[in-house]
Structures are given as C-alpha cells and as structure tokens.
C-alpha cells in the first residue's frame, strides 16, 4: 500500500489529506478560528462539582466550562493543588482504605486544577478534560507523576518490546511514566533518549508556569495540526509528504530533521500551477462530503445521515443487478459497502454510535463474512472502534471514538433557512399559517384592514387559482388584505401590518 500525506495551505485554512493507494482516507482541516485543542494543558478552577453526574465543570477561560468526569481524575493532580496538612485533618470517611482521596469529597469548588483537553467541544458541549497529563513526543509520550512503562500494542515482536523496555528503565527519571510509541520500533537508544530529554526539559519549564500563573490560563499549547500529524503519522511507511506552501514546508523540514532526519528526503514542495488538491483528485472528494448519498463501484449506494444521537448508514442495491441469486448479489454489495463505510467514516471523522443497515442476508456464514470484512477494514483506523455482529434485523451497531467534531461541521454551517433540518414549509403550509393568524386576529376584534408582507412565491400563489385565494380569505373573514412582496423574508415567513403601517405581533 502506497501512503502519502498531501498538505494544502492558504491564508484561511490548512488542509491535510492522507492518501492510501491514491484514495483519500482521512482529512484534517485547521483554521485560525478553529485550531486544534486536543493536547492543550490548562490551569483551571473547579466551577461546579456534581456527584450525581459523577463529574465536575472546570473553568479554563473558554466560553463553556470544560467537562471533567470523575473517572478522568488522577490522584497525582493533588501533587500541585491539594494542601496535604489540610487533607490530613479530614475525617477518615473521606479517605479510601488504600489512602487515595475520594474525588467527590476532595474535589471542591474554587480549587485550582491542572487539566488537559482530550476531546474538543462538540455542538453545545464543552471540551472534555483529564487530570492525567501527558506530553507526546515523536517516539515516546511522557506521563508526569506516574511510574509505569507502556509499549504500543502494535509492536508485536517480543524481543523488541523487551529491548525498548530496558532502554526506558535506564533513561527514565523517577516520578515519570513513559509510553513508547510504534515509531520507536528498531530505533537506537540515543534517538529515544534525545526525544525523552526534550520532553522532560519542556515539563520542567511548564512546572514553573503551573506554580506562578493565575487560573484560568493556558499552560501548554500542543503543535499545530499539520505539525502534529507529521509527528504522529509520518513514519517510514509513508512514501512522501507533498506541501504547496514553502513556509509550511520549512516548518515541517525543521521538525523532521530534528526527530527523524532519515525521512527528510520524503518531504517535497509542490511547484505546479494546478491546485494541489485538484492534482491528486482530492478536491472532488471534499466537495462530496456534504452529500448523504455515496455511490459504490458496483452500482450500489450508501445513505449517510448524522443525527444528534447517532449516525445511520443505509446500504442499498441501487443500479446493481447481478447475474447470480439474490443472496450472492446482496453479499457482494454488502462487502463492497463495508470497504466504503470504513473509508467514509474516516474521511468524515464520524464518531459516537453508528448504526449500519445492510441488505438482508439469510445465510449465517454470509453474515459472518460481512462482520469480519467490516472489522478488517476498521483495523486501518487509528480511532478506537467497537463493532457488534449483525443482528437479526440486519443491523450492525458500532461505536467510534469521537475526539473532535466531524469534518462536515468544520466545512459547513447549518442552513439559515431550514435550520439544518433540510426541510422548509410548503406554500400550502405557509398560507394555512396566514389564515390561522387572520382567524385569531379577527377573534380578538382586530381591525378590518391589514397589509400582508410575503415572499414573491406566496404572493403569486395567493393571487392565483380558479378563485383568487386572497379574495376568498377576505370574504371568509370580512377583512381587507393588501399584499406586498418582501424579498427580505425567508421561506415560510410573513408579516402583518395595521392601517398605520405598524407591525403586528403574531397572535
């Protein structure tokens, strides 16, 4: 598999595309007003503690307070903000048998707390934070206040895992935990030590800020999205990184030469006049992200509908006819759908609960094939996924780790006319609403002369018909209605004015 990273930088945004065999599989977008927040560390203040929700809200200086679940509170946070002498005076019931604090008892309003963002704000929800602080590097992740050594599960060789663990034991200072990343496999101990030393140096500087800064304040800002993707994804299996901005390329090269100089030759500058995303056929894929219908190669199609509660994906046979029996044809469409569902989920960055309605299958072995194909395709996904087997209704339920809002919400706003529903009132519905308004107005002894401001479409509709609809309303309610076209009104909107041209409130 040929893997490429394509970066397009403009004055307004930076877009990073991950290609596998020339097909778009992941897309990241960063804008000045929407910067990457995951990994940022804040010194905040506890705003509210809600034991019933098993959570606290932390003021970190944003418009919305951050959400801190009790399960994300590490005992090590007290190393900076809990007064030990005061805690010793607490009654024994506030302590567990193992000596650790009880979150709902010891976490109090007004207390300072060091937190790190693990999930960006989504819709009306604020960001989610943890007190388990970590600093990611190229080869290792430093975890202050811990004493464990973890190794990426993707490093499967037992001897290599042992070697890396031995290196970590030799170089890791006390009161620090360490997670060794996949890219550290077969790397020399000097390279790993250099990365660790840099992280420890960064942490020492942060400790000074933690003690002196007044909350709420930003203590540490993680890398920009382009740099963080290079740090996390630019490994030896990536054939090249292509950038269309000289400034961006210099920043990337500077970082790569420091952490992985052997990869610097793979970073290239795109010189062509044709836009870089057009050259790699990415732009056409980006334009399709807003569409709910996704065609499959064999003529079938998917309908992808994100909602507040879940994402529904429907698999349809479409134009596919097939030359074999119905069961075989359905299996072929479903298997092709599995591959496209996994790709679309990664491109659109869909998260949370996902329900997939496959074409019905009767044979249990065929159902198993669909389930295994979907699982295989999602092994390429870096996000954590959990997939259940096909139910008797032909549905697969799965969850995918949600870290940031989907790409769709980054590139699109809700329609100001329909409010994001995709539906607007019909002409008949609007005219019926007008009639109900007149009925309530006349019942309240309103004046017999009014001016009605409406859209051009409704204006034409009211003045048409075998019997003029406006006249029918006037005779029915014994009221004189003057119609005025108003282009400023949206679909379904109307406004009544009295004889003195004063706007009437809806009744």
What is the rounded CA–CA span in Å between residue 306 and residue 101?
41
Q: Sorting pLDDT into bands at 50, 70 and 90, what band is 236?
A: confident
Q: What element of type H or E holds 249?
A: helix 246-259
What percent of the chain has a predicted confidence (pLDDT) above 70?
92
Tell me the two tokens of residue 300. 């079938």
pLDDT at residue 103 in the model: 72
User: Considering Cα of 202, then 228, then 175, then 68, what sign does the dihedral take?
Assistant: positive
Q: What is the pLDDT of residues 347-366, one digit of tens each?
A: 998 988 999 999 999 899 99
List of residues 6+ apart from 246 with CB closer than 8 A: 269
Is residue 361 within 8 Å of 370, Cβ to Cβ? Answer: yes
Q: Across all residues in the chain, what is the average pLDDT? A: 85
442 pLDDT exceeds 60? yes
Higher-pLDDT residue of 84, 304? 304
Q: What are phi and psi of 462, to 5 degrees?
A: -70, -25
* 445 CB neighbour count, 10 Å cutoff: 6
Instruction: Give me the pLDDT at residue 237, please.
Output: 86
**Across 374-396, average pLDDT:** 91
Res 226: pLDDT? 79
413 vs 293 pLDDT, higher one: 293
Q: What is the pLDDT of residue 215?
A: 86
DSSP-derived 3-state class of residue 196: helix
Domains in the chain, please, with CATH? 3-36+226-283 (3.30.420.60), 41-220 (2.40.50.140), 292-411 (3.40.630), 427-497 (3.40.1260.20)
pLDDT of residue 90: 44
> What pLDDT is stored for residue 101 in this prediction?
56
> Is 257 in a helix, a strand, or coil?
helix
Q: What value does the CA radius of gyration of the chain take, rounded to a whole number of Å? A: 30
Query: What integer is the mean pLDDT of 400-417?
Result: 76
Q: Which among 450, 451, 470 has a CA at the least distance from the CA of 460?
A: 470
Residue where the block lists tokens 């740090």: 231
- 165/157 Cα distance (integer angstroms): 12
Confidence grade of residue 444 (pLDDT, cut at 50, 70, 90) = confident
How distant is the alpha carbon of residue 269 from its chain centre?
A: 29
Beta-strand pair 311-316/352-357:
parallel
* Signed CA dihedral, 349, 353, 356, 362: sign only: positive
Which of residues 399 and 33 earns the better pLDDT score?
399
CA atoms within 13 A of residue 32's CA, in its CB half-sphere? 3
Q: In the structure, what pLDDT confidence band is assigned to residue 78 with cuts at 50, 70 and 90?
A: low
Helices (H), 381-426: 407-411
Q: Assign 506 a pLDDT band (cuts: 50, 70, 90).
A: low
Q: Looking at residue 239, what is its pLDDT?
A: 92
Arithmetic mean of pLDDT, 14-31: 90
Task: Label residue 495 by pLDDT band (50, 70, 90).
Answer: very high
Torsion of CA 347, 349, 352, 353, to 10 degrees: -20
User: Is the pLDDT higher at 102 or at 335?
Assistant: 335
Query: What value does the mean pLDDT take over residues 459-477?
Result: 86
Q: Once rounded to an integer, what is the mean pLDDT over residues 257-261? A: 85
- What does the pLDDT look like over 114-159, one tens digit per residue? 999 998 887 777 889 998 999 999 899 999 888 888 998 888 889 9
The three-state secondary structure class of 483 is strand
Classified as helix, coil or strand, 92 is: helix
- Nearest alpha carbon to residue 50 among 119, 111, 104: 104
CA-CA-CA-CA torsion for 484, 490, 493, 497, nearest 10 degrees? Answer: -40
Higher per-residue pLDDT: 193 or 91: 193
- The predicted-structure confidence for 46-71, as pLDDT tens digits, reads as follows 999 988 888 899 999 888 899 999 88
Chain Cα centroid distance, residue 116: 17
- pLDDT at residue number 279: 93
DSSP annotation of 133 reads -
User: How distant is the alpha carbon of residue 152 from its chain centre?
Assistant: 24
The string of pLDDT tens digits covering residues 163-205 is 999 988 888 888 888 999 888 888 888 888 888 999 999 999 9
Cα separation of 177 and 168, whole Å? 10
44, 162, 387 from 353: Cα distances, Å: 31, 37, 10
Q: What is the mean pLDDT of residues 497-503?
A: 81
Block residue for tokens 């040929």: 2
What tokens does 333 get? 């469409």
**Cα 114 to Cα 132: distance, rounded to the nearest angstrom:** 9
Q: From CA 300, how far away is CA 293, in angstroms rounded?
A: 10
């Amino acid at each position: 598999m040929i893997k490429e990273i394509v970066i397009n930088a403009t004055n307004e945004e930076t877009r990073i595309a991950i290609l596998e065999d020339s097909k778009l599989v992941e897309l990241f977008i960063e804008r000045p007003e929407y910067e990457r927040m995951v990994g940022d560390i804040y010194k905040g203040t506890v705003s509210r503690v809600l034991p019933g929700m098993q959570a606290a809200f932390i003021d970190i200086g944003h418009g919305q307070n951050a959400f801190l679940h009790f399960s994300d509170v590490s005992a090590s946070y007290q190393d900076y903000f809990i007064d030990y002498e005061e805690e010793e005076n607490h009654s024994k019931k506030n302590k567990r048998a193992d000596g650790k604090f009880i979150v709902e008892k010891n976490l109090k309003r007004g207390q300072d707390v060091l937190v790190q963002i693990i999930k960006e704000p989504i819709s009306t929800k604020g960001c989610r934070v943890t007190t388990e602080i970590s600093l990611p590097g190229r080869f290792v992740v430093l975890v202050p206040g811990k004493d464990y050594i973890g190794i990426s599960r993707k490093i499967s060789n037992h001897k290599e895992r042992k070697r890396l663990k031995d290196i970590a034991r030799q170089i890791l200072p006390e009161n620090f935990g360490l997670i060794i990343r996949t890219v550290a496999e077969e790397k020399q101990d000097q390279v790993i030590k250099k990365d660790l030393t840099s992280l420890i140096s960064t942490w020492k500087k942060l400790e000074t800020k933690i003690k002196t800064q007044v909350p709420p304040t930003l203590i540490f800002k993680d890398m920009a999205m382009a740099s963080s993707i290079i740090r996390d994804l630019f490994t030896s299996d990536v054939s090249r990184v292509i950038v269309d901005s000289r400034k961006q390329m210099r920043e990337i090269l500077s970082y790569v030469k420091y952490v992985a100089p052997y990869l610097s030759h793979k970073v290239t500058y795109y010189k062509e006049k044709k836009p870089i995303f057009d050259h790699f056929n990415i732009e056409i894929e980006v334009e399709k992200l807003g569409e709910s219908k996704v065609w499959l190669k064999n003529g079938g199609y998917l309908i992808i509908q994100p909602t507040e509660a879940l994402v529904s994906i429907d698999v349809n046979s479409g134009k596919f006819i097939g030359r074999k029996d119905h069961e075989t044809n359905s299996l072929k469409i479903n298997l092709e759908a599995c591959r496209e569902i996994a790709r679309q989920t990664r491109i659109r960055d869909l998260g949370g609960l996902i329900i997939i309605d496959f074409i019905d299958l009767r044979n249990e072995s065929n159902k198993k094939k669909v389930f295994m194909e979907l699982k295989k395709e999602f092994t390429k996904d870096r996000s954590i996924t959990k997939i259940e087997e096909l139910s008797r209704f032909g549905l697969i339920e799965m969850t995918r780790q949600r870290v940031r809002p989907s790409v769709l919400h980054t590139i699109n706003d809700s329609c100001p006319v329909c409010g994001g529903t995709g539906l607007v009132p019909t002409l008949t519905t609007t005219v019926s609403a007008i009639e109900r308004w007149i009925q309530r107005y006349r019942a309240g002894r309103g004046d017999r002369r009014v001016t009605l401001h409406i859209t051009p479409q409704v204006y034409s509709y009211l003045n048409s018909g075998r019997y003029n609809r406006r006249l029918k309303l006037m005779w029915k309610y014994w009221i004189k209605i003057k119609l005025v076209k108003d282009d400023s009104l949206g679909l379904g909107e109307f406004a009544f004015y009295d004889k003195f041209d004063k706007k009437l409130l809806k009744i």
